[in-house]
Amino acid sequence: MITLLKTNSDHTDFRTLVVALDADLQARYGEQQQFFSQFNKLDHIHHVIVAYNNNEPVGCGAFKEYETGVAEIKRMFVQVQQRGKGIAGLILTELEQWAAAEGYHSCILETAVKQPEAIRVYEREGYIRIPNYGQYIGVEISLCMQKQIG
């Protein structure tokens, strides 16, 4: 049974999952990952979801304000052996609902070309590709997406 916990970036299970996420990204992107790591700090993230399968932490996601009315989805991850069970979609939906309740009207995110499974999840959940924003402008491997939530 999948359960979701609303918390913040200080939560131990979130931090443990992020270590696994960072290892996965390092394996996919090697030295290129150093560029992205600077934008993935965990300090002061107040909106975090941790997913549990039978009380074991299996996935996570977060959002933070990008600009007024726009939340940026960050640190989305589901353990490899737990993928294909709809967990990422549950996390993303919960993040979107939370962001809407906090007054945001859209969510943006950045993923990258070597994460086809993530791209499929985002497309399935209604995200559309947009021009790369902010620090991702001109980064060829980045793929930015957006969804209106309210």
Residue in this structure with the two tokens 């309210």, named with its chain if needed: 150
User: Are 25 and 121 within 8 A, CB to CB?
Assistant: no
Q: What is the mean pLDDT of residues 33-60?
A: 79
Domain with residue 20: its CATH number is: 3.40.630.30
Residues 6+ apart with CB under 8 A from 94: 4, 6, 49
For residue 94, the model assigns a pLDDT of 98
Q: What is the mean pLDDT of residues 49-54?
A: 97
pLDDT tens-digit map of 84-119? 999 999 999 999 999 999 999 999 999 988 889 999
Question: Stretch 76-88: mean pLDDT, rounded?
Answer: 95
> What is the predicted pLDDT for the residue at 78?
96
Residue 144 CA to residue 82 CA, distance in Å, equals 25
For residue range 1-41, list pLDDT tens digits in order: 999 999 999 999 999 999 998 888 888 776 655 655 445 55
Structural domain boundaries enclosing 37: 2-148
Over 70: is that where the pLDDT of 125 sits? yes
pLDDT of residue 33: 54
- The C-alpha R_g of the chain, in whole angstroms, comes to 14
Q: How many domains does the chain have?
A: 1
Strands 106-112, 142-148: pairing kind: antiparallel
